[in-house]
Amino acid sequence: MSTTSLNISVIEKRMMNATEAAHYCGLAVKHFKSLCPVQPVLIPPKYKQYDRSDLDRWLDDLKTGSDVISQNEILGRL
């Protein structure tokens, strides 16, 4: 009996369009656009891409409650 090994290398995307970013965060696109404070990066000439690191930071802040505190601080300053 012979054995075969398969070597697969997967490179994760760092930059995502709005649909990919919404799916990455587990949200519908329409909810993602209204809930997510992360600003897309403009990649010339016309591409708006979301950085996975920024999305991760936002999601981590949601888990710790940091996002709520910062929103309240912003509202207090207005």
Domain residues of the chain, as ranges? 15-77
Question: DSSP assignment, residue 17?
Answer: -
Would you say 15 and 49 are in contact if contact means Cβ atoms under 8 Å apart? yes
Confidence bin at 67 (pLDDT 50/70/90):
low
For 4, the 3-state DSSP assignment is coil
The model's pTM: 0.71
Confidence bin at 3 (pLDDT 50/70/90):
confident
Q: pLDDT digit string (tens) for 23-63?
A: 999 999 999 999 999 999 999 999 999 999 999 999 999 88
Exposure b/e, 66-77, CB count within 10 A at least 16 = b:
ebeeeeeeeeee
